[in-house]
Amino acid sequence: MAKPIYTPRVNNNDDQVQIIGLAVAVGDRVEPGQVLAEVETDKSIAEVESDQEGYVLDILHPLDAHAPVGSVLMWIGETRDEPVPEPVETAPEAAAIATGRPTAKARMLLRRHGLSADRVPASGERLSAADVEAWLARQGTAGAAAARPAATLPAPEVPGEAVPLSAEEQGMVHTVTWHRDQAVAAYLERPYDAAVWEQAAADYARRQGLMLSPLLSLMAYRLVELARERPKINATLVGGQRYQYAPVNLGFTVQAGDTLYLTVVRDAGALDLGGFIDALGQVQRHAMGHKLRPEETQGATLGFSSMARWGVARHIPVLPPHTALMVAHAATGPDGRAILGASYDHRVLSGFDVARLLQDLAKPPAFA
């Protein structure tokens, strides 16, 4: 019996992908795990693998086409001459094939809330995001609020046109909505002597033979070190308890043209300084080329943002979903002083926690 291969959801906010590679043709024999196609969104690239053996009966989306998430990408049959089935409905939960595994969106929610799939009952053949959200609601967590429909505002009286949001803009709406509806957001800042950090960065660059200043990389790494020492800042709130993440996944903002990305260096706490600088440089390059992989855009457990390149003296960043801390770095003023700030979730951290963090972050250690 012929079975469909569905077009996957690569990023949460993308409802279509572009087919940028086809590794098979009609009539080819395929094996489980074999790459069939490569798809791309504005943020990342992903491979589509076969989950069965058989023969390619039909390919419904040609190379370079934009395919809706959940649509049938191709049909796999037991024999080459098997008839192609009639068109089928889009697969539920973004083209998840019924194998009993969590869908991509469900996996993301499980990671964010520190859950294992076997704890959450599935309503169908696969564990869906709706299943996870329903389970969270029953536990009394704040995660269920994200499922509430937004209030519909009346159309403005001033003439204009409705312009659909891009995937990145939709992602920002999700982030801002979480910041507004879930976190008890607060902000705190302190001035510091920027020359101390600038000298530390210059000394490190000279010892390592670097052409560009590693200032932001060093500050971000120092934040990672402090998160390792103080697990409380690398946490979120789940079910009325502080959930302290095991890895330190650093979110780091990158402006690529008109697009703002929150890139993620995963398990940054397990890296030494050189490895961290290399990993951060890699995700920055991927962001500038708009070629971020899914794991480079998901799972931040705390964040670091800088607007110094635009001469911004202070800014209040938005908390990424399911984090309790986002550090803000700004430009140095004419008096040599600069501002280190932080947005934080007051349910998880106190003002004292954040003030002490910023005080320590303002003093660079002796980098080897």
Pair (133, 75) in one structural domain: no
Number of domains in the chain: 3
Written as six digits, the tokens of 145 are: 């609020």
pLDDT at 149 (0 to 100): 42
Dist CA 25 CA 56 (whole Å): 7
pLDDT at 297 (0 to 100): 87
- CATH number, domain of 224, equals 3.30.559.10
Pair (117, 90) in one structural domain: no
Domain that holds residue 339: 168-361
Q: Is residue 355 part of a domain?
A: yes
The whole-number average pLDDT for the span 74-98 is 66
Using the structure block, give the residue that is written with the tokens 């159309």: 155
User: ∠ at Cα 202 (338, 262), nearest 5°?
Assistant: 60
In this predicted structure, the answer to whether residue 98 has a pLDDT above a threshold of 50 is no
- CATH number, domain of 110, equals 4.10.320
Pair (86, 107) in one structural domain: no
Q: Which amino acid is at 116?
A: S
Pair (196, 345) in one structural domain: yes
Written as six digits, the tokens of 195 are: 């020359």
Pair (224, 309) in one structural domain: yes
In this predicted structure, the answer to whether residue 124 has a pLDDT above a threshold of 50 is yes
pLDDT at 225 (0 to 100): 96
Q: pTM here? A: 0.62
| Confidence label for 1 from pLDDT (cuts 50, 70 and 90) | confident
Pair (89, 43) in one structural domain: yes
More confident residue, 346 or 44: 346
Most confident residue range from 51-55, 93-97, 104-108: 51-55
| Confidence label for 147 from pLDDT (cuts 50, 70 and 90) | very low
Q: Is residue 155 part of a domain?
A: no
pLDDT at 135 (0 to 100): 67
pLDDT at 214 (0 to 100): 94
Least Cα distance to 47 among 26, 33, 67 occurs for 33
- Judged by DSSP in three states, 144 sits in helix
Pair (322, 178) in one structural domain: yes
* Long-range CB contacts for residues 326-334, cutoff 8 Å, separation at least 24: 326/251, 326/302, 327/223, 327/302, 327/303, 327/358, 327/361, 328/189, 329/216, 329/219, 329/304, 329/305, 330/306, 331/307, 332/194, 332/198, 332/308
Do 45 and 21 form a contact (C-beta atoms < 8 A)? no
Pair (135, 201) in one structural domain: no
Q: Is residue 162 part of a domain?
A: no
Least Cα distance to 354 among 308, 319, 321 occurs for 319
| Confidence label for 150 from pLDDT (cuts 50, 70 and 90) | very low
Pair (36, 75) in one structural domain: yes
